[in-house]
Structure 1
Amino acid sequence: MTELRLEGVTKRYGADGSGTVALRDVDLTVRDGEFFTLVGPSGCGKTTTLRAIAGFEAPTDGTVRFDGEAVTDAAPEERDVGVVFQSYALFPHMSVAENVGYGLRYREPPAGTSVDDRVRELLELVDLEGMGDRDPDQLSGGQRQRVALARALAPEPDLLLLDEPMSALDARLRESLRRQLKRIQSRLEITTVYVTHDQAEALAISDRLAVLRDGRIEQVGRPRAIYREPSTRFVAEFVGDNNVFDATVRGRDGDLARVAVDGSDREFEIAGVPAGAARVSFCVRPAALARDADANRFPVEIETSEFRGEHVRAYGRWDGGSVVLQFDTERQLPSDPDGLENGVTATTDGGTDAADDNGADGADDGGDATIDGDVAVGFAPTDAHVLETQSPEERR
């Protein structure tokens, strides 16, 4: 196992370093045996960070350390890392077994193990036992991904790096493979850095994750903390759906602050507002907006909704702007206009619109639940999470 540290890592492109800045003073620690994910939108610097760790990109400034030892100037082959690329990069003229064993041409297999034994061990580990003689083009996308993973693990690297390895796979296969990847990583206890733009994937697979934006780290934390307690507006809006409000502080009552939301004449009471603050931004998750909440109630006009299987996601407007709601379809009664409720429950005054797929006979089997009309919802003061007003660079 290896502890990874990045200290003030900056990457500028251009002959004199005055061009595009891909990374800006990145400080990061990945603990021994941790599954750590870099997540963010395209162009945020996550792949550049991974390439700097692997040695494929030389930082303009800063230091990369493995177990405290500076490796910033070390070549990739000197860093003892395994890399799985987005394209898998398998050799088409080699069999599966030859691909897996390729790295062992330049590094001895573990003591007491032959190359063939190591290849068989790894194919068994990734559930490809008996497929060593096949060519890569005879495999599915998921199987090729597992061959690439086995090849990266063959020399027993200290660090495993994965650059969006599942982005080309369908959603169901991604879910299956990420569970398998996490199982393998936990079994081997190998320090792993994973790059993805998929927030749901990052939340599901990581021990901890870093959210990147414009070459900077916005927030580092455990998945639950990132989701429930985003530090900035960007994190709140990037990681899952969220409702973000800007408001002016009007007064205080003990631990609660009374705030007036921009664009509305309504005042809400929320917790967590810093003493002396005159302005505040806060977020409320769709699942926290409830029909039966006593506090902070407001009407919403539903504009559109999406059936997502276990729940319906509704998008609407109120006098303070746009808002996102969530309705649990397991407890929804499409035949009852007033029966839309979830753990966040809400009621539609205008009723529900249940699509009829039965043709001319007009029989109603419930259909796919969608929502229109007006909704009255509220939220508890403690369900509002106050966001930081400073940017990451201002917090330094």
Structure 2
Amino acid sequence: MGYENFNIIDGGSIITPKGFSAGGVHCGLKKTERHDIGAIVCEVAATAAAVYTTSVFQAAPLKVTRESLVDGKLKAVVVNSGNANACTGQQGEADAYAMRAAMAKQLGLAEQDVAVASTGVIGELLKMDCVNAGIASLPLRLSSEACGAEDFTQAILTTDLVKKEACVSVLVDGKEVIIAGAAKGSGMIHPNMATMLAFMTTDVNIDQDALQQLMRQATDLTFNMITVDGDTSTNDMLITMASGLAGNEKLNSSHPDWSAFSEAFTYVCQKLAMAIARDGEGATRLVEVIVHGAVTDNSARAIAKTIVGSSLVKTAIFGADANWGRIIAAVGRAGEPVNPEQVDIQLGDITVLKGSRPVVFDEEEALVYLKGDTVRIFVDLHGGDGKATAWGCDLTYDYVRINAAYRT
């Protein structure tokens, strides 16, 4: 499938860019037989950058990864699911460093070359015998074939029902550059790097500062615009590794192909973010909120996130109830400047509010629309040029069931 500046690679994965392999195994951190530890490895020192959760309670792996990224280079990342290694004190920190050291030893790397990520239950110490056994078995499972990516994407899942992947190609200096990503996230999802892990690989040759800046910009437009339940995790991070093997001249923001690369990179982030929202715990519908006419883009973002995060809006979507009053209430409490006399609201193509006045609409048509797989809410504030899009999901009985028994 083609877009203006890039092409989607069907079946592509994190190992599609040149220089990468991946794998995953079951080591015993999960009660089921699903994979629970995995790794991505680059054959060269990759230019790397990361963004992290804004929670003041940051899990031990984040400290370790920050240290590994001081020089802006990585060769591997090791990830476990089933245990977050968060709020685990000095022992948890020691365990995160031990994971890094064990992975480095298995691959013959310096410890600084390895990043660490964890996801799962908070407040429980890692079973390091399981972790060490899993890491010892990973090198034989690493592959640059599809099976390697499949094993890795399974290894990072917790309550997720599906894997999340995206892959595109874009031309830089006439060379084909691949950008790919894999993510996990289903619950404890809220804007500001919510409960999610995401890993992106690319074979572009890129300046590290430019990569870091692009990641922050893309995150603000994508991962920071999703919410499932309003809770921000202790472990979230997005890591990008760039092998540089595509053969292009070093890319930065002044390069003539920067715009095309930036668009493609942001698209991958958006697809992963939307997949996380769609797979929200217990969710039956993806909800997309598009706000236009705000005084600024930041104002539009705040309003869009308030709407998509409203429990009353989310339950109305679950019940297929065209209750626009809940949407206008969310707009009003977002804390942003809005003229209360000129707001328009649409549910898909169905106008329900015009100039802040109710519009007669076909309730049956609205019911059918709201029972669809994706619900789009359009809000026009007629107050400026600011615009933003946010993504979330409905709130269902199953969300309560899943989280009431998360540890058991």
TM-score computed with the length of structure 1 as normaliser: 0.25
Q: Tell which structure's C-alpha radius of gyration is larger.
A: 1
Structure with more contact order per residue of length (Cα contacts < 8 Å, sep ≥ 6): 2
Report which of the two has the higher share of helix: 2
Q: Which has the higher strand share?
A: 1
Q: TM-score, normalised by structure 2?
A: 0.24
